[in-house]
Amino acid sequence: MSSLKDLTSAGVSIWLDDLSRDRIESGNLADLIRTHSVRGVTTNPTIFAAALKGSSYGAAISAQAAKGATAAEAIAQITAKDVADACDIFAALYAESKGVDGRVSIEVEPGLAHDAVGTVKQALELYKLVNRENVMIKIPATKAGLPAITEVIGQGISVNVTLIFSTERYAEVIDAYLEGLEKAAAKGLDLSKIHSVASFFVSRVDTEVDKRLAALGRSELSSKAALANARLAYGLFLESLKGPRWDALSKQGANAQRPLMASTGVKDPNLPDTLYVSELVAPQLVNTMPEKTLMAMADHGKVTGNTIEPNLSAASSFMAELAVAGVDFDDVTDLLEKEGVEKFIASWDELVASVEAALEAAR
Three state DSSP letters for 43-85: CCHHHHHHHCCCHHHHHHHHHHHHCCCCHHHHHHHHHHHHHHH
Which is the catalytic residue, given 5, 53, 67, 138? 138
Q: What are phi and psi of 204, to 5 degrees?
A: -65, -25
Question: How many CA atoms does the CB half-sphere of 307 hold within 13 Å?
Answer: 15
| CA gap 38, 20 in Å, rounded | 15
Distance of CA 214 to the CA centre of its chain: 29
Active site residue 138: yes
Strand, helix or coil at 166?
coil
φ, ψ of residue 251 to 5 degrees: the values are -65, -20
Assess contact for 254 and 193: CB atoms under 8 A: no
DSSP state of 136: E
Dist. CA 89–CA 172, nearest whole Å: 34
Alpha-carbon gap, residue 103 to 217, rounded angstroms: 44
Known catalytic residues are 138
